[in-house]
């Protein structure tokens, strides 16, 4: 009942607004959407547009796909620290800082405990490389895969595995020829 009464009152107010608009000779009234109810209609229209935009943004900006495709924030990383390594030619040095990522945070204790062993593997693998083996992005990505595969073979992680190797720092340089043994 109260809803019907409210609707009746709104109709009466609209009729009054229409009469006032035509009595003043403006000719605008309800047809042009002016007045209080025109203002309310505009607010409702804007609210509806924002709601639709919000819904679209939610569906368009969320990660695509089904299971396992959303961003996994449970991974952990371990940084080995900066190392200077002599490349195979003996004339070129490589400054590298390797970071590994594991898929299970429970593995971090094993990775940290194996820090020295893994860094030794990095030195062993990189010291066999020449500048030609590491001088492009494609070759460095191949090197990352080689390191990751080697690490996963060396380590027996109970709960997970290494899923990525990153180079936080990676540049090679000519060593000073004046260095003595």
pLDDT recorded at residue 87? 92
User: Which residues of the chain form CATH 3.30.479.30?
Assistant: 76-174
Q: What is the topology classification, in CATH, of domain 76-174?
A: Tetrahydropterin Synthase; Chain A (3.30.479)
Distance from C-alpha of 135 to C-alpha of 173, rounded to nearest angstrom: 12
Q: What is the pLDDT of residues 94-147, one digit of tens each?
A: 999 999 998 888 888 888 888 889 899 999 999 999 999 999 999 999 999 999
Answer yes or no: pTM beyond 0.85. no
All residue ranges of the chain with pLDDT < 50 are: 27-31, 65-71, 178-181
């Amino acid at each position: 009942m109260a809803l019907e009464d409210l609707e009746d009152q709104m109709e009466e107010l609209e009729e009054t607004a229409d009469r006032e608009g035509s009595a003043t000779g403006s000719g605008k009234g309800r047809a042009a959407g002016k007045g209080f109810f025109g203002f309310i209609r505009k607010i409702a229209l804007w609210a509806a547009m924002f709601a639709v935009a919000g819904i679209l943004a939610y569906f368009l900006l969320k990660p695509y796909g089904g299971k396992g495709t959303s961003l996994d924030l449970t991974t952990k990383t371990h940084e080995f620290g900066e190392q200077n390594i002599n490349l195979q030619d003996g004339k070129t040095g490589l400054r590298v800082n390797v970071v590994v990522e594991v898929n299970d945070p429970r593995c971090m204790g094993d990775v940290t405990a194996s820090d020295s062993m893994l860094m030794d593997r990095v030195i062993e693998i990189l010291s066999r490389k020449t500048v030609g083996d590491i001088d492009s992005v494609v070759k460095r990505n191949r090197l990352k895969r080689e390191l990751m595969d080697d690490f996963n073979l060396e380590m027996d992680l109970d709960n997970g595995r290494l899923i990525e190797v990153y180079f936080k720092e990676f540049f090679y340089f000519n060593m000073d020829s004046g260095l003595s043994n």
